[in-house]
Structure 1
Amino acid sequence: MTDYEEKADELLESDNVFGLITVAHILTQQTRKRNQYRYEAKLRLVRLLYERHWDKQRIIDLFSVVDWLMQLPEWLNNQLRQELEAIEESKQMKYITSVERIGIAKGMAQGRVEGGSRLLKKLIERRFGVLPQWALDQLSTASEQQLETWGESLLTAPTLEAVFNNDAN
C-alpha cells in the first residue's frame, strides 16, 4: 500500500484536481479485473465531480480522465451513462452533452488518446517543468496503452526520462 492509498479519503475531500486523479489511478489499480467494483468506484468519482463547484470545462476534462483510466465493459458503460443522465437531470445541469455521450458510448479511442495526451502533458509539466521536444514528440504519437503506462509511471518515476522508460520503473 502506498502513502497515497492511505490518504485516498483525504484526497477525495480536497478540491485538489491532482488528488482526484491520484485516487482514480489508485482505484483503477485496486479494481483491475473486478468490473462491478470499478463501476461503483467510477460512479463515486463521477458523483464527486458533479458535487464540486468547478467550471464546466474542468468537470468535462476530469470526467474524460476518469473515463480513460477506469474503463468498463460496454454493459457497465451503459449503466453509468444512465446514472450520469439521472444525476444531470436531478441537478439540472448538462455538463456532458448528448454528442459527448455518443462519443463516449462509441469509445472514440482517438479522442481519448488526444485528451489523455493533453492531460498527461499537463501533469508531467506540473511535476518536471517544461517538456523537451523529444517528450512532446512521444506524447503526440503515443498509443492509448503507452499513455496509460506513462500515467502510471508518473506517480513514482524519479525523473522525466524514467516516466517514458518502462524499464527504469
Structure 2
Amino acid sequence: MTEQSTDYDSPWKEIIELYFPRFLEFFFTLAYNAIDWTRPYEFLDTELQQLEPDAEIGRRYVDKVAKVWLLDGEEAWVLVHVEVQGQYDSQFPERMYTYNYRLFDRHKQRVISLAVLADEQANWRPSSYGYELAGCRVSLEFPIAKLLDYEQAWETLEQTTNPFGIIVMAHLKTKATQRNPESRLQWKLSLVRQLFEKGYSREDIQEIFRFIDWVMVLPKELTSSFKTEVRNYEETNRMRYVTSIERLAKEEGIIETARESVIEVLETRFGEVPNAIVEAINTIEEPSVLKTLLKRAIAIPSTAEFQQLLDNLSSGQ
C-alpha cells in the first residue's frame, strides 16, 4: 500500500462543500464568527478555473471559493486552500497571494484566504507572502491549520461532535498506516464505530462514512472483512446504515465503466494499447480524472503522449 493509492483531493473537496460552516467553525473560528450564516452562501467552482486557466490535470491542490455575507452586511469572498500533496512547495505562499489579489481584482470584494496544511512535514508552516522593492512593500498574511498538530490533541478530536474531528482522525491515520493495512483496517473500524456513536443523523453518518471509506483504502482481501464487521456492528446495535456501503459499491461500478471507456477509445484509435497504460488507467479512482482522460483520449495524437499525460498525473505535476 502506497501513498499514490490514496486520493485525498476529491474527498476533501466534497466534504468542505457539504459541511462548509462546520469546516470554518472547526479550523478558522475568526472567519466563522465574521460570517452571517443566516444568509445563503454560494460556491463558485468556475472562479478558480478563470483565475488559473492553464491548471494541469493531476495537480494535487484542493481549492474552494465561496461567496458569503459578513455580519456587517458586506459581501466577501472566502478562498479555502487545502495543500494535500504532502511535500514542501516553495511556490505555495506566492500562489495564495496570487489567488487573493486576482479575486479582489475581478470582483472588488474583500477576500479571506485560508489554508489547511495536510502534509507530513511538521516544520513547514507558510503563512505569508511579501516582497519589498525600492520602498514599495507588498504582503499577505493568511491563517493556516496544520493537521499534524491535531495528533497532540487526539482526545479533543474524539470528543468533538464537529464532523471534522473524525475527518481529521481519518486523514491522519490514513497517512500513518500507509504500509500497514492491518492497522488501517482496525483504525477504520474504530472510526466508523465512533461515527455511529456520536448521535449524527443518518445523512451525516452516510456522508462522513463516505469520506472515511474513500481515503482509508484497503486491499481487496481486507475490504471484505471491513464490510462484514460494519454490517455485524449495525445489526448488533440495530442500525441500518448499510445502504452507504451499497452506494459505494455502485460508485465503484461507475468508476470501472469509466476506465473501460477510456481504454476502448484508445483501442479504437490506436489498436493495441500498451499494458503500462491499461494498468495505469485501472488504478485511477477519481471519476472526474477519468472523464478528463476520456476527452483527451478522443483527440490525443499518440499513445506515447497519452502515456506522458498519465506520468504527469501520477507524479502530481
1:106 CA drift (Å): 6.6
Cα RMSD of the aligned pairs, angstroms, is 2.5
Task: Identify the structure with the greater helix proportion.
Answer: 1
Matched, 1:80 2:226: yes
Output one character per residue of 1:21-67: Cα deviation in whole Å (capped at 9) or x when no partner: 01110000000121001001100000011111110000000000000
Q: Distance in 1 between matches of 2:287 and 2:230?
A: 32
Local SS of the residue matching 1:7:
helix
- 1:69 corresponds to: 215
Q: Percent identity at matched positions?
A: 31
- 1:101 corresponds to: 245
Q: Contact between 2:196 and 2:205, CA under 8 Å: does it hold in 1?
A: yes
**2:223 counterpart letter in structure 1:** N
Q: Distance in 2 between matches of 1:76 and 1:36?
A: 8
Matched, 1:38 2:184: yes
1:76 CA drift (Å): 0.8
Output one character per residue of 1:90-115: Cα deviation in whole Å (capped at 9) or x when no partner: 11110122xx434535761757xxxx
- 2:236 corresponds to: 90
**2:201 counterpart letter in structure 1:** D
- Residue 23 of structure 1: which of 142, 160, 169 is its match? 169
Work out the number of aligned pairs and report it: 116
Q: Distance in 1 between matches of 2:240 and 2:213?
A: 17
Q: Distance in 2 between matches of 1:102 and 1:66?
A: 15
Question: Would the alpha carbon gap of residues 110 and 13 (structure 1) be closer, same or farther in structure 2, given more than 3 Å must change?
Answer: farther
Task: Identify the structure with the greater strand proportion.
Answer: 2
Question: Would the alpha carbon gap of residues 106 and 35 (structure 1) be closer, same or farther in structure 2, given more than 3 Å must change?
Answer: farther
Q: Which moved more, 1:23-32 or 1:6-15?
A: 6-15
State TM-score, norm by structure 1: 0.61
Question: Would the alpha carbon gap of residues 42 and 6 (structure 1) be closer, same or farther in structure 2, given more than 3 Å must change?
Answer: same
Q: Contact between 2:166 and 2:195, CA under 8 Å: does it hold in 1?
A: no
Question: Would the alpha carbon gap of residues 57 and 106 (structure 1) be closer, same or farther in structure 2, given more than 3 Å must change?
Answer: closer
Matched, 1:10 2:141: no
Larger radius of gyration: 2
1:141 CA drift (Å): 7.7
1:153-168 pair list within 5 angstroms: none
